[in-house]
Structure 1
Amino acid sequence: MAALRSVVVGCGSALPAKVVTNAELAERVDTSDEWIVQRTGITRRHIAAPDETTSTLGAKAARAALDDAGLSGADIDLVICATSTPDHTFPSTATQIQAALGIEQGAAFDLQAVCAGFVFAVSTADRFLTTGGARRALVIGAETFSRILDWEDRTTCVLFGDGAGAIVLEAREGTGTSDDRGVLSASLRSDGRHRDKLYVDGGPGSTGTTGHLRMQGKEVFRFAVGSVTDVIRDAFEKAGFEAADLDWFVPHQANRRIIEASADKLGIPRDRVVLTVDRHGNTSAASIPLALDTARKDGRIEDGDLVMIEAIGGGFSWGAALIRW
């Protein structure tokens, strides 16, 4: 039975020029390259310059995705930006990206699910495209987490970086089977009881300040490895696949130990896991599209490959989506 599918037709990314190594951080806080690498796998991260914002990084990644797809802003009628670090309380970062790209039609809005934001945004765009609500969507993950870090807190400031990634999704008619290209399934979850494990201690409606990121690292690790595989299994089941069928696992790039432990638990071979956390750090909602663009550009992800994306973010919110590229 024919069905509309949300097919990835382009991807792109953007990283700030400034790179900060572990050795440079060790000059600022009580840490070391060995300590950071052993616990996280991170060796470096990109940090936005004063004139770089979430929207400028997002627009750059979106332009690259449009170029990759052979499209222009006039071809887009939906822009969704997943971010926890918007340029302004309002208007949305998505509208600023929309304006920068010269898009004058359709809708643009932000989606906030922290590190899980890109997965939530892909699922949301998929609902628009497969129900006829839009024809082509720019789905962007963009963050400047360096702006909400406490640079005196060595347990968090070593983990995060800035950047943006984007994909273009296009509604195309498929057969309605698992052989179709496009988003095949998605599974999303949230549980607000875990707020205190990962949060920012400020906001316009509470303190009137931006605040800083706070995290109970051991608790986040325990939950990420022990609980979030449910959405991955659910996404596999909905599409009629299992881990052995997967070509590439592209998880949120938070911590190498979390990624490898989750892959092992699911029976996904480590050589099928895309890792960029070593050179990007945790870029929150930007991490999955950055990793997708990296693996596409270096030839790992090819047309027809079965790709699983997965992430967990503060709240907690977590999700997974299965995509045939």
Structure 2
Amino acid sequence: MKKIEKMIWIAVLCFLSSNGRSQTADTLSQKQKFQDTTNMRRNALDYASRQFAMVRPFNVEFSQVAPYRYTPKKDGSSLPESKVSSYHHIKANANLYFLAKKKLILGATFSYRYTSADNDFTVPSSGLVQAVKNDFTYHSTSLNFTYISKIFTKPFFVNTSLIVDGSEKHFERLKGLAIGTIVLKADTRTKFMAGILVNVDPSTQLPLLPMITYERKFNNGMMLDLIMPRQLLVRKHVFERGRISMGTELDRNGFYLYNINEHLPSQKYEYRQIELDNGVIYEHLIGDYLILTARTGLKWIAISRLFEKEKTFSAQWLETSAKPTAYFNVGISFNPFAKKMLGK
């Protein structure tokens, strides 16, 4: 989900409340908070880094997916069932901030992903199984700008990103994202915001996307964390330096392919996969700034399509339907707000 996910983490920068610095109590009043734009900016980066590992200055992850079966479909007709016998990927990202003033933030995000898959493909004409191993590289760079303002005394944010992505062979797409977001409620127990995302990408199905973020803390230490369409999680601090979360996260994987159509050898293709990861997340603070994260559960590949680069995501050249499978993910990241994240 990466281009939408990147815009979502920029959007959550508007979560700037009297409790915007995680679980610790704040002696400033809500009115004072909203008047101090410098503090708003700090709280924005704090909140975003607590929510998404990809927002932190540095993050690296390894994911392994258990074998699963899938059914390809081309031109509306189903092909014989095949199997992915091995699937894993490594991804890393870094965030730099060039300028951080009272009312604006200027920075850049660099992302890299390596995907390896072993596919036991059933040849339609003969029914024989052919083993195919593929390795794919995907990278993207974005320039991000956030402007902080107010509407009717409520914090309001305009965020824009200019993104270029590609493979190990070429740069492929230049895309733009913009979002306007307003904080509707923010106190020590409840946070609520709404926004509209504009996706400037000729291949997208969703040029406009409404966004809702809702956080609710309960007396028993549990917290409901809803960021639509990104995640629905129930969180709780455990032990002295840990946090456990249960629920669903939306993720996206993708890359570019070449020389796969013998009739059009020069045609470029793009593969996109929308996933729902259902399970448990455990985060553990190492030292003061490093966070070790482990995820496991059931992965459901909701949408998987291969389409010509010049066409939209809905005009698929090949589509697959996959069965749910187990997954495991482990990562480590550097977070300057790590101790606040875990209530330290």
TM-score interval for Structure 1 and Structure 2 normalised by the shorter chain: under 0.3
TM-score of the aligned structures, taking structure 2 as reference length: 0.24
Q: Which has the higher contact order (CA 8 A, sep 6+)?
A: 1
Instruction: From the two aligned structures, give the one with the greater strand fraction.
Output: 2
TM-score of the aligned structures, taking structure 1 as reference length: 0.25
Higher radius of gyration, 1 or 2 = 2
Instruction: From the two aligned structures, give the one with the greater helix fraction.
Output: 1
